[in-house]
Amino acid sequence: MGKGYRSRMPQGVCPAVCREPGLVNTQTAAEEARDSPALEWGARIGFVVYGLVYGVLAWLTVQIAVSGGSSAKVSRQGALHEVARQPLGGTMLWIAFGGFCALVLWEAATALVGHHDKDGGKRVVARLASAAKAIVFAVFAFSCAKVASGSGGNKSGGAKTWTARILELPAGPVIVAAAGLAILAYGVYSVIRGLGDGWRKDLDPDGKRGDLGKVITVLARTGYTSRGLAFGIVGGLVIWAAFTQDAQHSGGLDQALQRARHAPLGSALLILIGLGFACYGLYNIARAFYLRRK
């Protein structure tokens, strides 16, 4: 983007808003960040790490399906603790921290000056989505640093605790229900994005053509759909907790998958979700190699 975008604007011509020094400096800094090879490679490393995290989540999910339990939570924290237990786990977590920090900067810069292939409201929505991704990756970066430094206890029941606290508020059930609907909506969005091939915009042309493109298509569609299903289950539990005003009915991904296992054909469903997580992880690794600037 960056230089290519500036070259399309005639010399001496700039929208009025661009004449504000502060805005010019911010836009220039964001564009230079996006054009930085170091940041681009850092973002690629971040997507590889993100894919590996989902690989660990896949393994933990299959563990629940097969054995009925797991020594670690099926969550972001649980996956990172599994990494920490491996040889050189602390070093890998600090590398992951650096990669996620690069992704934060990458998405933040995209939120400021990216998505010039879109117009009007679509560009605004796309930039807001990039800003939301920056926040998500910031949470991952914080979690990596917390676990790597030894201050991230693998505590359970966190989601239930927060749900219980919110339910005690005057409008608590409404707030919890809204949160559940938001999680459910995100799950639906993930399914739509996967089946609607919206993810293709994240790849350069080499990642979308030939046999390789077909493989990546299967990984993305399966991965996004499975992730959406998992978030849909979590959102449903949170909504049910709001309806019953009982925090015991809520929980994070770990509790959602544990409950899903007891449903008819629950173990088979969990295995499919686990395989979907693995596909989503592999897709993000492929995305790292075929990353397209927005």
Give me the DSSP letters along 25-89. Answer: HHHHHHHHHHT-HHHHHHHHHHHHHHHHHHHHHHHHHHHHHHHS--SS-SSHHHHHHHHHTSTTH
Quote the percentage of the chain above a pLDDT of 70: 75
The pLDDT-based confidence of 4 (bands split at 50, 70, 90) is very low
Q: Which of 209-213, 254-258, 273-277 has the lowest mean pLDDT?
A: 254-258
- As a whole number, mean pLDDT of residues 262-279 equals 83
Mean pLDDT over all residues of the chain?
78
Selected residue with higher pLDDT from 181 and 66? 181
Q: For residue range 107-154, what is the model confidence (pLDDT) as tens digits?
A: 888 888 777 767 777 788 888 888 888 888 898 888 888 888 876 554
The pLDDT-based confidence of 225 (bands split at 50, 70, 90) is very high
* Structural domain boundaries in the chain: 16-27+37-289
Q: Full-prediction pTM beyond 0.85? A: no
The whole-number pLDDT of residue 281 equals 93
Q: Mean pLDDT highest for which of 6-15, 33-42, 275-284?
A: 275-284
The whole-number pLDDT of residue 172 equals 79
Residue 159: strand, helix, or coil: helix
The pLDDT-based confidence of 11 (bands split at 50, 70, 90) is very low
